[in-house]
Structure 1
Amino acid sequence: MSTYAIIETGGQQLRVEPGRFYNIRNFASLTSSELEQNTKILIYRVLMIRRKSNIDIGYPWLKGAVVKGRILHPYLEKKITIYKMISKKKTRRKLGHRQKSTRFVVDSIFLNGEEIYE
């Protein structure tokens, strides 16, 4: 719990810890054919790393910081329904879609070539 990193991926910022899994809407650098199970990924957009009482903050990203992980599986999220109705005009429109997501697990956090342990 004392070691974590804040990364930027998929248009959002995440607080990640080694050994936990997270859901990301899209990996910009990976195509759909590369999103297979156990594909290794490296995330270089690390904004901050905390280990025990030391905090390293990047401007905007930390140089030499890497978060290593692997993809567990791609999946579709729950369906989102959009219903538009204009009253007194008898106009109704129902749309929906399912967002593509990817679940990945963080294996380790590296800073300047050395792995950060708890």
Structure 2
Amino acid sequence: MFAVIETGGKQYKVQKDDVIFVEKLALEKDSTVQFPVLAIVGEDGAKVGAPYLDGATVTGKVLKEGKGKKITVFTYKAKKNEKRKMGHRQPYTQVQIAEINA
């Protein structure tokens, strides 16, 4: 059984005990979070919401928060002697899926 959830403007396919990295959530470590469900696929077939399934949630436990790997952002305008080099680290929250409530 797996579910498709949405958080941070992105969709994730999750199963029980999966560990996913989502956009940063304003939650403490070891707290629980519930995600809305877009679709559930199980032994009895697929259920798809419009846009969400009523009464279906996915519960997860926050493991940690952190920042991703650094990427280099370089902006450049030709013939203007204008350039700028910056770095960026995207914040994330690591969540372990505890259960899928259909």
TM-score of the superposed pair, with normalisation by structure 2: 0.91
| Alignment-derived partner of residue 40 in structure 1 | 32
Stretches of structure 2 that go unaligned for 5 or more consecutive residues are none
Report the Cα offset of residue 86 of structure 1: 2.5
| Alignment-derived partner of residue 55 in structure 2 | 64
SS at match of 1:78: coil
Stretches of structure 1 that go unaligned for 5 or more consecutive residues are 112-118
Report the Cα offset of residue 38 of structure 1: 1.1
What are the residue-to-residue correspondences of 1:47-86 with 2, within 5 Å?
47-86=38-77
Report the Cα offset of residue 42 of structure 1: 1.3
CA distance in 1, matches of 2:79, 2:46: 59
| Alignment-derived partner of residue 92 in structure 1 | 83
CA distance in 1, matches of 2:76, 2:48: 48
CA distance in 2, matches of 1:17, 1:79: 29
Report the Cα offset of residue 85 of structure 1: 2.2
Report the Cα offset of residue 53 of structure 1: 4.2
CA distance in 2, matches of 1:53, 1:110: 15
CA distance in 2, matches of 1:89, 1:61: 50
CA distance in 2, matches of 1:70, 1:94: 37
- Write the letter of the residue equivalent to 2:12: L
Q: How many residues align?
A: 102
SS at match of 2:68: strand
TM-score of the superposed pair, with normalisation by structure 1: 0.80
Report the Cα offset of residue 98 of structure 1: 1.1
